A and B are shown apart, each in its own frame.
Chain A
Amino acid sequence: RKEVEQDPGPFNVPEGATVAFNCTYSNSASQSFFWYRQDCRKEPKLLMSVYSSGNEDGRFTAQLNRASQYISLLIRDSKLSDSATYLCVVNGGTGGFKTIFGAGTRLFVKA
C-alpha cells in the first residue's frame, strides 16, 4: 500500500463546477499536510496547508481528518486556470522528517 494515495483521475469538469479531491495517508504519526499544485513540466507550488480545523482560501477549502487519516480539497466555481495536477503531501512522522507526495490528480477544466 502506498503511504499517500490520491484519486487517480483525471478529472474533466466544465467551468463553474465544484470538484473534490481525496487523499489518504498510512502513517498515523504524520505531522503536517499540504496540497500543492503542479503545472505541466513546472515545479510544484504550495496551494494550501491543511489543518484539522479546516481552512479556506477563496474558492479552495481543505480539510484534514486525523482519525480517518484523510485529507480533502474542494474547488468551487472551477476556472480554466485551475487545470493542473494537484498533489497531496504529508510531512514527518515516525522515522524522521520525510516528505511523501501522492501521485497527483490531474484536473482539466473545460470551457
Chain B
Amino acid sequence: EAQVTQNPRYLITVTGKKLTVTCSQNMNHEYMSWYRQDPGLGLRQIYYSMNVEVTDKGDVPEGYKVSRKEKRNFPLILESPSPNQTSLYFCASSLSVAGDYNEQFFGPGTRLTVL
C-alpha cells in the first residue's frame, strides 16, 4: 500500500531531551516536507526537501533539524525540545516539486507534548 508513515504517533517528553520523529514514504517521491499544526494557526511548513541531500527552510524552522540521506526517509530532529514545540506534526511527500503530480500525501501525524 502506498503510504507515508510516521513514528511515533504520540510522544510526551521533557524539555531539553533530544528526540527524532521518523518519516518514510514508499512511493519514490522526490519532495518531502514537515509541518506543524497549531490551533488558530493552521499548518505551517518547517522544512522541505526537493531530493536527496537537498533541504530548505520553511516558515518555522527554528528549533528543528532535518536530513535527507535516502529518498524514502526524512526524519525531523528536535535537539533540545521546548514547550512551545508542543504540537501536531505531519510529514508529507509528493512525486515532483513543480508542475503536475505535485499534490502532497500526508502521514497520520505525530502528537508531541513537551513538558
Contacts and interface: CB of A to CB of B under 8 A. Distances in A.
B74 interface: no
Contacts of A49: 103
Interface residues of A, number: 22
A46 interface: yes
Interface in A70-111: 87, 91-92, 96-104
Contacts, number: 57
B50 interface: yes
Nearest to A92: B98
B60 to A, nearest CB: 11
30 contacts: A32-B102, A34-B103, A41-B88, A41-B109, A42-B108, A42-B109, A43-B106, A43-B108, A43-B109, A44-B90, A44-B106, A45-B106, A46-B103, A46-B104, A46-B105, A87-B43, A91-B98, A97-B56, A97-B97, A98-B48, A98-B56, A98-B59, A99-B35, A99-B58, A99-B104, A101-B42, A101-B44, A101-B45, A102-B42, A103-B41
Interface of B: 31, 33, 35, 40-45, 48, 50, 56, 58-59, 88, 90, 97-99, 102-109
